Homo-oligomer: A and B are copies of this chain.
């Protein structure tokens, strides 16, 4: 048994914060300053796949990230050690037989993890990546049900904790110093609102000058707006949950837009100021407000994390209109598939109205190099259960 090698494969999705996490109350344990809430995306397009091979005969843990051997960071190392500790507790609790316990305690992991979208491009690959590795290791050790995986993933990357669940997910900041109450929980499953759609618009930016960890520190140290943030987030999360339950898109959209703007307002208010948005990002903001004005209601929402990419959220019924407009304003021509996107049938008034919008943003033609369409997803999944190899 000592030389036995095992393998399992899992996938975990990206999540998009609707009320944002910004600022840490403890940077070692990655305990956030405020509550946040997110939607977990379908992992098919925006997610991570991780295969773990493990054996008591391996000498050390190792990591291959997107095909490249990579040093295990101290944060990931924390996650792995915490998972081992959690396993030992679990083994004692279930009175595991001594031989299994000894063997499994000596497991070392060969982690191979691949993001389905560009890494470090502001597409939350660190969230799905850390969630995926956590889920893979817990699956390997058979402890997915007996631990809180959101707490373990959080140690690797704060927002990763929200990718452990599907649907609408809340991460409570918690109050305990050891982080024991800083957990992510599902509020509503993905099936609650299947008509929700996302387009992720990849906006070319220079490499971020200020990473999000550094940005958060600056905001905590210098922006007075942070004083209002914990209460503001609690209120906004309530609004999100209420709008989600009632499936009232305009109410949901308004909170999403406001909280995205607040995040970037706080960045601007930090010293020195931080700006994650490009001219194209700003034009996309204007475009969405302009379109909502034309539609007479807040039918489309945008949100930006600490980067220039735009996450557009809407209901299925507005998909063909929105896609057509985006394809004729921002999205580069050669990534368009004309068999999928046909011009919606418009009467003369609509034609005039929407052509005006296309004309207004003509300066931004081809400014978006690629895009992903996706939906709400139901969280991490096991692709191949643990098996001997």
Q: B-contacting residues of A (Cβ < 8 Å)?
A: 222-225, 227-228, 232, 254, 257-258, 261-262, 264-266, 268-273, 275, 279, 282, 285, 289
Q: How far is the CB of A302 from the nearest CB of chain B, in Å?
A: 10
CB distance B271 to A268 under 8 Å?
A: no
Q: A261-B271, A265-B266 are in contact. Are A228 and B232 (CB under 8 A)?
A: no
Other-chain contact of A257, B224, B232, B271, B285 (Cβ < 8 Å): B271
CB distance A258 to B271 under 8 Å?
A: yes
Other-chain contact of A228, B225, B264, B265, B279 (Cβ < 8 Å): B225
Other-chain contact of A265, B265, B279, B282 (Cβ < 8 Å): B265
The 13 sampled A-B contact pairs (Cβ below 8 Å) are: A222-B258, A224-B262, A225-B265, A225-B269, A227-B228, A257-B272, A258-B271, A261-B268, A264-B268, A265-B268, A268-B268, A272-B289, A273-B289
Complex interface: chain B residues within 8 A of A282 (CB):
275
Complex interface: chain B residues within 8 A of A269 (CB):
225, 258, 261-262, 265
If over half of A's interface residues share one DSSP class (helix, strand or loop), that class is named, otherwise mixed; here it is helix
* Bound CA span A268–B232, Å: 16
Other-chain contact of A279, B264, B266, B279, B285 (Cβ < 8 Å): B279
Residue of B nearest to A231 (CB): B224
Q: How far is the CB of A263 from the nearest CB of chain B, in Å?
A: 9
Q: How far is the CB of A303 from the nearest CB of chain B, in Å?
A: 13
CB distance A273 to B285 under 8 Å?
A: yes
Residue of B nearest to A268 (CB): B265
Complex interface: chain B residues within 8 A of A279 (CB):
279
* Bound CA span A222–B254, Å: 11
* Bound CA span A109–B346, Å: 57
Question: Interface centre among A257, A258, A270, by most B CB within 10 Å?
Answer: A258
Residue of B nearest to A222 (CB): B258
Complex interface: chain B residues within 8 A of A254 (CB):
271
Complex interface: chain B residues within 8 A of A275 (CB):
282
Residue of B nearest to A223 (CB): B265
Complex interface: chain B residues within 8 A of A228 (CB):
224-225, 227-228
Q: How far is the CB of A257 from the nearest CB of chain B, in Å?
A: 7
Complex interface: chain B residues within 8 A of A227 (CB):
228
* Bound CA span A275–B284, Å: 13
* Bound CA span A279–B281, Å: 12
Question: Interface centre among A222, A225, A227, A275, by most B CB within 10 Å?
Answer: A225
Residue of B nearest to A279 (CB): B279
Complex interface: chain B residues within 8 A of A264 (CB):
268
* Bound CA span A254–B279, Å: 26
The 8 closest A-B pairs by CB, nearest first: A265-B269, A265-B265, A265-B268, A272-B289, A261-B273, A225-B225, A279-B279, A262-B269
* Bound CA span A262–B228, Å: 14
Question: Interface centre among A265, A279, A282, A285, by most B CB within 10 Å?
Answer: A265
Q: Add 16 more A-B contacts to A227-B228, A261-B269 (CB < 8 A).
A: A223-B265, A224-B262, A225-B225, A225-B228, A225-B265, A225-B269, A254-B271, A257-B272, A261-B268, A261-B270, A261-B271, A261-B273, A264-B268, A268-B268, A275-B282, A279-B279
Complex interface: chain B residues within 8 A of A232 (CB):
224
Complex interface: chain B residues within 8 A of A257 (CB):
271-272
Q: How far is the CB of A223 from the nearest CB of chain B, in Å?
A: 8
* Bound CA span A24–B78, Å: 52
Q: How far is the CB of A237 from the nearest CB of chain B, in Å?
A: 15
Residue of B nearest to A228 (CB): B224
* Bound CA span A265–B268, Å: 6
Complex interface: chain B residues within 8 A of A272 (CB):
257, 289
Q: How far is the CB of A253 from the nearest CB of chain B, in Å?
A: 11
Residue of B nearest to A273 (CB): B261
